[in-house]
Amino acid sequence: MRRPSTIAIDGPAASGKSTIGGLLAERLGYLYLDTGVMYRAVTWAALVRGIPIDDEAAVTALARQVKIEILRPTVQDGRSYTVLVDGQDVTWEIRQPEVNHAVSPVSAYPGVRAALSAQQRRMGRKGRIVMVGRDIGTVVLPRADLKIYLDATLEERAARRYREVVARGEQADYEQVLASVRRRDEIDSNRSVAPLRPADDAVVIDTTTLTIEQVLDRVLALVDDYGRGRRQSVANREENSS
């Protein structure tokens, strides 16, 4: 059965897209690329170098210059991948609160999106990839074989992010996390360039009340349906030509 070679998974913060994307890629033996970490990497680099986040020109220039690598996990500490910025492992640093607060403005800059989207598109052309983000199905890979949009209520997504922070042994306040997720939604959905929205041909899955296993099962069913659909399409063509 033929599988979709390019799979795009989009959705808002803490909708489960990164977890599901990683598990799906592992199950299929595909490359997993969480594009959100690239924007986080640029944001982190700007912060540590003292570049003002509101200096669009400087941040855009940084995005064009900095070398970002996303590798399979190099340390067994619960990470799904390893993120290097100019050779430095910043996998956990890019998850710090200050990066969470600043990443949305950075990701809204057209020049930053153009620089990183070009890299993502080149990787997507190679196929056998699960790419996760906020504009994969609409902008980066508009011709992806399978497009999925994961969503959940704001409160559930904030609770997930809160538990994630606490699980790392860090201090967190649910109300502050809720406000941060709400702010991220507003910025991502209202930006002028590549706003967050499901692609017209994406399958939308509400993960609010679903376990990780249940969501993965639904996504795997979509992968199987793609293969069956292609076989049916070939059969129809053969029948029509006879």
Buried b (16+ CB within 10 A) or exposed e, 108-145: bbeebbebbbeebeebbeeeebbbbbbbbbbbbbeebb
Reported as a single tens digit per residue, the pLDDT across 203-237 is 999 999 999 999 999 999 999 999 887 544 433 33
Joined together, the tokens standing for residue 220 give 């795997």
- Return the SS3 of 101: helix
Q: Is the pLDDT of residue 239 over 60?
A: no
- Phi, then psi, of 204 in degrees rounded to 5: -95, 130
Reported as a single tens digit per residue, the pLDDT across 36-73 is 999 999 999 999 999 999 999 999 999 999 999 888 78
Strand ranges (E), 129-223: 129-133, 146-151, 203-206
Mean local confidence (pLDDT), 8-34: 94
Q: Considering the chain, what is the average pLDDT of its residues? A: 91
First to last CA, the chain: 24
What DSSP designation does 94 have?
G
- The more confidently predicted of residues 186 and 237 is 186
Using a cut of 0.85, tell me whether the model's pTM lies above it: no
- Which residue pairs from 141-144 have beta carbons closer than 8 angstroms and sit at least 24 positions apart in sequence? 141/6, 141/8, 142/199, 143/6, 144/4, 144/6, 144/7, 144/8
Q: Give all domains of the chain, ordered by start, each with its CATH number.
A: 6-232 (3.40.50.300)
Q: Is the pLDDT of residue 187 over 90?
A: no
pLDDT at 202: 97
Which of 65, 142, 63, 77 is CA-nearest to residue 108? 63
pLDDT at 83: 92
Residue 17 near residue 114, CB atoms below 8 Å: no
Q: What is the CA radius of gyration of the chain?
A: 18
Reported as a single tens digit per residue, the pLDDT across 106-143 is 988 999 999 999 989 988 999 999 999 999 999 999 99
